């Protein structure tokens, strides 16, 4: 089973887990298993069309899945998925 690292802001929707191990042959299958286990995460990760939200980045080990095949990217039992929400804000100087 692949390990998924859950960022601090989303842990409240995942029974306070910082990581979980879930089955799946692709990133999409593992993410689907994550949503099945923690349904409250869905609204934070996916839009109404069922696509990952634009501000949610998913990495397979150290590779951004947007450049490796997106949710069709193959996953093995030794892989780690990291969910990294983009953070916006700050002050524009210029």
CATH number, domain containing residue 53: 3.10.20.30
The reply to whether 92 falls in a domain is no
**Predicted pLDDT of residue 25:** 96
Task: Answer whether residue 38 is part of any domain.
Answer: yes
Q: From first to last of its 94 residues, what are the pLDDT tens digits of the chain? A: 999 999 999 999 999 999 999 999 999 999 999 999 999 999 999 999 989 888 899 999 999 999 999 999 999 999 999 999 876 655 555 5
Structural domain count, the chain: 1
pTM for this structure?
0.86
φ, ψ for residue 85, nearest 5 deg: -70, 135
74-88 exposure pattern, b = at least 16 Cβ within 10 A, e = fewer: ebeeebebbbeeeee
Whether residue 94 lies inside any domain: the answer is no
Other CB atoms within 10 Å distance of the CB of residue 72? 12
* Residue 58, in any domain of the structure: yes
For residue 13, give every residue at least 6 positions away whose Cβ sits within 8 Å of its Cβ, in sequence order, or none.
38, 40, 41, 44
CA 4, CA 53: separation in Å to the nearest integer? Answer: 17
Q: Quick one: which of 60, 65, 64, 94 has its CA closest to 80?
A: 60
């Amino acid at each position: 089973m692949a390990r998924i690292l859950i960022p601090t802001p989303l842990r409240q929707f995942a029974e306070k887990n910082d990581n979980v191990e879930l089955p799946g042959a692709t990133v999409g299958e593992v993410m689907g298993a994550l949503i099945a286990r923690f349904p409250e995460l869905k609204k934070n990760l996916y839009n109404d069309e069922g696509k990952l939200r634009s501000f949610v980045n998913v990495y397979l080990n150290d590779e951004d899945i947007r450049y490796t095949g997106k949710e069709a990217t193959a996953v093995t039992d030794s892989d780690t998925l990291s969910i990294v929400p983009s953070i916006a804000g700050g002050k524009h100087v210029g």
